[in-house]
Amino acid sequence: MIDIAIIDYNAGNTINVKNAFGKLGANVVISDSPFIWEKADGIIFPGVGYFGSAVRNLDENAKLLKDLITKKKVPFFGICLGMQLLMDKSDESPEINGLGIIPGQVCRFEGSYPIPQIGWNKVEQLNSPLFDGLDDFYAYFAHSYYCDPTDKTLVAATTKYGEQFSSAFWKENIFAVQFHPEKSGELGLKILKNFLNEVRK
Amino acid sequence: MLMLCKRIIPCLDVKNNRVVKGTSFLDLSDAGDPVELAKRYYAEGADELIFLDISATIEGRKTMVNTVKKVAKEIFIPFTVGGGISSLDDMYNIFRAGADKISLNTVAVQNPNLISRAAKMFGSQSIVVAIDAKQEARSWKVYIKGGTVKTPLDAIEWAKKAVSLGAGEVLLTSIDRDGTKKGFDLDLTNTVSNTVNVPVIASGGAGSEKDFLDVFENTKATAALAASLFHYNMIKIPKLKKYLGKNGVEIREN
């Protein structure tokens, strides 16, 4: 039995997400094969890297992944770039479309503050089962782009960096965070544990 | 106002799988097992860790990859690995082992192109350029090879260039202050952090809690690093963070 499949797209730092779930006692597999993804009770798209190359690496598997998420309603957790890929488009690679599961655009931070945002920032206005048992907390971010969804009702947390942005989504079986729970200490592990609970429901 | 927390970063200089620390880059003494020390810092609330492989041999690099793998299974905060990384392959191996960032120093000076290739491949947020600077008249010169070899580069100009090539962060060490416990070089840190638009990690010279407060209050550095101070328990991280928080510095205490 596979609790969670971590999508390997040959760029992301998949091992850290696996290590974190390993610590939580979950059975986790890193794979680039949709045949493995569909055997898992939950799917995670972790990551760092470029929007465009991540979509390109997914290639025809993008459609299969989208079906698993939107039709089969498999619990899905997008982390960092994995959150951004849910959107229609990104400033980072305007010529390439995202998965288009969450309508909206990925924008680049514009300001006199340091970009990328690297470090611990506050996650507030929590509204997702993944934040069960948590109050506003600090999480680790490393990114230059953020999601701007059309439908604000699915925003599950906000964070301020120059401007306020959506640092988490929640829509039915779809969960996403812009920060790195696998790098956010014990509270981050709690978020992964909450996802594991969703998967095992 | 930015909510981003200032980061406290213990630095572990690793040689032959042991943490060592010296004064002004020389005179090394043993401070323990890297994995155990990393676990301690994780439990104490360090915001990030930096591992520098100072053996800088092929054998040392292989040992380092194994150390990184072990560390990544035990701590769930970001960590950077530097020292002896000379190619994209080296970086790939370190990232695959679980590191979040790699730090380039000597190799970046010798081959600046590698910074942009690394940034394109792994993203700027994972590429740190480490600069060892030593004051000379009214400027700072860049030193390489663990602070032993002087280059003609001006530290400020080099920081600018490294960032323009794709460095996402600058780890700035004052050779003059390193190991002295006289406080961070505020002048150097200020000049560099005012010049580049990426996070700057201040390093070299921390000796007291006040030194950390000074660097955060008087410069734009977003992180401060120390080694022996933490290794030998001269400053405890939870106490340091409480002190900074009380003095109005945005700091993570969860």
> How do the domains of chain B map onto residue ranges?
7-246
* CATH code at B7-246: 3.20.20.70
Instruction: Output Rg (C-alpha) for chain A, integer angstroms.
Output: 15
pLDDT band at A191 (very low <50, low <70, confident <90, very high): very high
pLDDT band at A164 (very low <50, low <70, confident <90, very high): very high
Given CA atoms A95, A35, A15, B96 in this order, what sign does their dihedral have?
A: negative
A47 has pLDDT over 80: no
pLDDT band at B253 (very low <50, low <70, confident <90, very high): confident
A2 has pLDDT over 90: no
Q: E strand or H helix at B20, and its extent?
A: strand B18-23
Closest CA to B12 of A188, B42, B4: B42
Tokens 């638009």 — which residue? B197
Is residue A143 less than 8 Å (CB to CB) from chain B? yes
Cα–Cα dist A165/A122, whole Å: 11
Q: What is the pLDDT of residue B2?
A: 61
- Catalytic, A182? Answer yes
Q: Which residues contact B73 (CB under 8 A, 6 or more apart)?
A: A19, A22, A23, B98
Q: E strand or H helix at A188, and its extent?
A: helix A185-199
What does the CA dihedral B23, B29, B32, B35 come to, rounded to 10 degrees?
50
* Average pLDDT rounded to a whole number, residues B58-80: 90
- Residue A176 near residue A188, CB atoms below 8 Å: no
Cα–Cα dist A31/A17, whole Å: 13
Question: Which parts of chain B fold into alpha helices (H)?
Answer: 34-44, 58-74, 88-97, 106-110, 113-122, 155-165, 186-195, 209-218, 228-231, 237-246
Q: What is the mean pLDDT of chain A?
A: 93
Q: How far is B46 from chain A (nearest CA, A)?
A: 10
Contact across the interface for A23 and B73, Cβ inside 8 Å? yes
Q: Which residues in chain B have their CB less than 8 angstroms from residue A121's CB?
A: 3-5
CA distances (Å), B145 to each of A74, B34, B83, B110, B162, in order?
A: 51, 22, 9, 11, 17
- Residue B210 near residue B171, CB atoms below 8 Å: no
Q: Please list the residues that pair with A104 across neighbouring strands.
A: A149
pLDDT tens digits, one per residue of B170-224: 999 999 999 899 999 999 999 999 999 899 999 999 999 999 999 999 999 999 9
Least confident of A84-88, A186-190, B9-13, B57-61: B57-61
The listed range with the strongest mean pLDDT (A71-75, B26-30, B232-236) is: A71-75
The pair of three-digit structure tokens given for residue B20, joined into one six-digit string? 């060592």
Q: What is the mean pLDDT of chain B?
A: 92
* Average pLDDT rounded to a whole number, residues A35-56: 88
Instruction: Count the Cβ atoms, other than its own, within 10 Å of residue A52.
Output: 16
Q: Which CATH architecture has domain A2-199?
A: 3-Layer(aba) Sandwich (3.40)
Q: Which residues in chain B have their CB less than 8 angstroms from residue A117's CB?
A: 4
Considering only CB atoms, A16 lies closest to which of B4, B98, B126, namely B98
Q: What is the pLDDT of residue B25?
A: 43
Length of chain B: 254
pLDDT tens digits, one per residue of B230-243: 988 899 999 999 99
B120 has pLDDT over 50: yes
Cα–Cα dist A129/A107, whole Å: 26
Q: What is the pLDDT of residue B18?
A: 86
Q: Which residues in chain B have their CB less than 8 angstroms from residue A15's CB?
A: 72, 96-98
